[in-house]
Amino acid sequence: MSAIAITVAALLADDGVTAIVGERVHAVTGPQGTELPNVVLTLAGEADSYVLSGRSRFPEATVIVDCRASTYAQADVLADRVVDALADLVNVELDGVTATIMRGTLSVTDRGDDGRIFRRRQSFSVHWR
């Protein structure tokens, strides 16, 4: 199980997100020609803490969520729905694991790599067991 798969499952389970993007929630990159708006998730880091008896087996990862749209207003509304979907998930069963997702500190906007797609980027901390 990965933090990306857990986050995808949480987003696709949320009616507020799917009302805007349908099934267009992608890992790492949006497929070429993918309709906007959509969501792209990237893993920014992952670690497992250690206790005296060894690995805790309660990994923590940072996931970057890019909310992409053809206008800033659309990207902003989508990002707000993503926050609503993810920010307060505590000990929720997602895709076969128990997960907690918390909002991170990254929240930036830009026009993407090619300048044609508006993007609001946010980070989330994902913990699971």
Task: State the pTM of this model.
Answer: 0.90
How high is the pLDDT of residue 9? 96
**Closest Cα to residue 12, out of 2, 1, 23, 27?**
23
Q: What is the pLDDT of residue 74?
A: 96
- Burial profile 21-40: b = 16 or more Cβ within 10 angstroms, e = fewer: beebbbeeebeeeeebbbbb
Residue showing tokens 């020609």:
33
CB 44, CB 105: distance < 8 Å: no
- What does the alpha-carbon distance between residue 19 and residue 13 come to, in Å, rounded to a whole number? 11
Whole-angstrom distance, CA of residue 70 vs CA of residue 105? 25
The range of the structural domain enclosing residue 107 comes to: 3-128
Provide the domain count of the chain: 1
CATH number (domain holding residue 65): 3.30.2000.10
Residue 58 is predicted with a pLDDT of 77
| Low-confidence stretches of the chain (pLDDT beneath 70) | none
Residues 98 and 119: their CA atoms lie apart, in Å, by 30
